[in-house]
Structure 1
Amino acid sequence: MSNNKGSAYGQAASDTDFRKTYDLDEYAAKAKEREAAEKEERKARWEAKMAGKKYYKPLDGSETLTTARNATQDFSRMVGTSTLVPAGAGVGKRGRGAGFYCEACDLTFKDNLQWIEHTNSMQHQRSIGQTGEVRKATAADVHARIVALWERQQEREREQVVSLKERLEVRAEEEEKEREEKRKKRKEAEERRRLEKETALKVKTEYGEDVRVEGEHDEDDMMAAMGFTGFGTTTKK
């Protein structure tokens, strides 16, 4: 019996190591740096609190100038929807919970007004890598902005004119269809009455004037039933 404990790749199992190896010294150094940074941040927060100021993340030179949001947050699409929150979600603002969550700051807000105010705050600007300062616009920038807004307004007016014209055309087609349908019904009614008259005339011609056509003497029969035989005048001598 062979005692060769080879692997599926034809070599000894001891010579093949599929486990991922980690550099413990490297991870220990990263943990030490992170702890030092957190300690420094706690100290800066405490100093700002003692000075009656609000703490902001310090700049490291990689930040960009603050720019306006190019998209509008649509909160109406969230009406009637449900959101799954992780087990053990915090009750306060810190961490992900039920409400509007800011991933950059790891904060949750209970209503949209608080969320909007937070996105405009310096805390959020620093968290997303912006300085909180805006670039001063030049005369060329202002002129380009005015031109862009003017072109946008003209495009909206052109779209409105086109859509109005299309709506008027559709409405005219619908009115024409309605008139055609009324004409068709009117012709059908006239044709039905003409056929009824022709049928009545044919019956009288074949059977004489004494024949009673349905509906022809209904009024005379009703007057006779009420005791009125006629409205003739009497002549006095």
Structure 2
Amino acid sequence: MSSFQGHYGASTGGDTGFRRTWDKEKYKRGAEQEESAPDESTKKKRKKKTEPEEEVSEEPQMLRARDTKVDLETHLNKTQVVTVSSDANRQPGYYCDVCDCTLKDSVAYLDHINGKRHQGNLGVSMRVERSTVEQVRAKLASLKKKIDQPAPEYDLDKRVEQIKQQEVRDKEARKQEKKERKKKDKEEKAAALAPVKDEEARPMDPEMAALMGFGDFGTSKKKK
């Protein structure tokens, strides 16, 4: 009886396994040769794995109070055109140049700059420096001195008068700006109409006027 060959060349009457087989001895010899004479790239990889990571010499700074005001009003009431392919610093929202990310609102931005990731990129830990007894006493003394100082007198009438004067100055400034803008628009319109007026004021050629039948226009004399 004739034997049939399978799709992978194996006889149907014998081993029916069709999975790929590997020469284990060949790969074993290759691995042994690599172990005996590793190349430079292999040496570097092994050295990188075995050597301990170098410790950072600079210690992170302690967390301290912010001495500058966070600017959240730079782009207030401004229009910005953005595209899908824009960089992170051109996307709408609050951009953090330290972490290269954009936050969509001010609350998320404040949470981010006060968070562990941002402070870590600045080299600041989340630990607070422990105050000494002398520092606490000095702080209490400064607060007591501030409380003991007499409160400045607040003149309500004077403040109201200052506000009124400021409103008058602002109103005059707006009127002057509006006046200057109208004057500028008027000058631009006059400059645009000047060539047209010059063309209209130019006298017409008599021959051309006669050909067009305009010779008798503009005269009150009667022909005899």
The reply to whether TM is greater than 0.5 is no
Q: Indicate the TM-score class for this superposition, using the shorter chain for normalisation.
A: 0.3 to 0.5
User: What TM-score do you get using the length of structure 1 for normalisation?
Assistant: 0.36
